């Protein structure tokens, strides 16, 4: 059993551009869950707001994990490769999502995981990767705000259209697949040539 002064154990599962986290009390009771995007500034801030100085967290290696590590330190944030733990748990029958996140939290509570020790070179690479990730998030946010204003003002151009499609693709947004029973209702008429209609149709092609 983990002996550090921890009030809650947090397990995380990452599925595409989504995260699912499970928060357990120190006695592993009262699980609570939270989910969201892991590739946007808002989604990452929501995730980080759930972590406190009394939390310990187990998370797959990712930009989100790196950001948590930089904020809360090696004593609190435990990072492992997806293949070393989560893939093994999935093969053992643990379902992805909330069940996997809870399993990670329980594993963290029951195993005395040593603090993550990073070399100077690893830390430098983490900071560099983190800076690039933040730069992309901030750029996409700035572009979205500018393009939104252009659309509302009726001044959006073909260049804005290309930027919007590129940003949506880079941020990992993909239209979700639908089951055979679901019926899709078009948001725009086939002959609608507005900026938003063309953007929507282009993103549908990425499906």
Per-residue pLDDT, 174 = 39
pLDDT in tens, the chain (207 residues): 444 578 899 999 999 999 999 999 988 888 999 999 998 888 999 999 999 989 999 999 888 998 898 888 888 999 888 877 899 999 999 999 999 999 999 999 888 666 556 666 766 766 676 676 667 666 766 767 776 776 667 776 767 666 665 665 555 543 333 333 434 445 556 666 665 566 555 555 544
**Beta-sheet strands, E only, within 87-154:** none
Per-residue pLDDT, 47 = 95
Per-residue pLDDT, 75 = 87
Do the Cβ atoms of 140 and 170 come closer than 8 Å?
A: yes
List CB contacts of 169: < 8 A, sequence separation 6 or more: 206
Is the pTM higher than 0.75? no
Q: 77-80 and 55-60: which strand pairing? A: parallel
Nearest CA-CA partner of 19 in 92, 76, 71, 82: 82
Per-residue pLDDT, 49 = 93
Per-residue pLDDT, 102 = 94
- DSSP secondary structure, 93-104, as one string: TPPTTHHHHHHH
Per-residue pLDDT, 146 = 73
- Could you give the residue ranges of the DSSP H alpha helices within 50-157? 63-72, 86-91, 98-110, 120-153
Alpha-carbon gap, residue 96 to 94, rounded angstroms: 7
Per-residue pLDDT, 145 = 72
Per-residue pLDDT, 181 = 40
Domain 8-110 matching CATH 3.30.420.40: the answer reads yes
Per-residue pLDDT, 57 = 95
Alpha-carbon gap, residue 96 to 15, rounded angstroms: 8
Q: What 3-state class would DSSP assign to 200?
A: helix
Nearest CA-CA partner of 57 in 25, 17, 15, 104: 104
CA distances from 55 to 10, 32, 58, 76, 116 (A): 7, 13, 10, 7, 15
Residue ranges of the chain that CATH labels 3.30.420.40: 8-110
Place of tokens 């939104």: 148
């Amino acid at each position: 059993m983990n002996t550090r002064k921890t009030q809650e154990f947090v397990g995380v599962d990452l599925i595409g551009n989504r995260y699912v986290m499970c928060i357990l009390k120190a006695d592993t009771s009262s699980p609570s869950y939270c989910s969201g995007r892991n590739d946007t500034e808002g989604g990452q801030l929501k995730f980080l707001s759930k972590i406190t100085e009394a939390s310990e967290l187990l998370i797959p290696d990712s930009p989100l994990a790196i950001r948590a590590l930089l904020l809360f330190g090696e004593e609190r944030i435990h990072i492992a490769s997806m293949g070393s733990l989560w893939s093994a748990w999935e093969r053992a029958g643990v379902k992805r999502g909330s069940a996997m996140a809870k399993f990670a939290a329980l594993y963290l509570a029951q195993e005395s995981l040593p603090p993550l020790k990073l070399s100077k070179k690893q830390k430098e690479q983490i900071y560099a990767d983190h800076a690039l990730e933040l730069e992309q998030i901030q750029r996409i946010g700035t572009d979205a705000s500018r393009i939104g204003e252009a659309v509302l003002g009726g001044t959006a151009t073909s260049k804005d259209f290309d930027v919007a499609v590129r940003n949506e693709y880079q941020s990992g947004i993909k239209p979700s697949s639908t089951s055979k029973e679901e019926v899709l209702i078009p948001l725009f008429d086939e002959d609608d040539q507005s900026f938003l209609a063309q953007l929507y149709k282009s993103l549908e092609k990425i499906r």
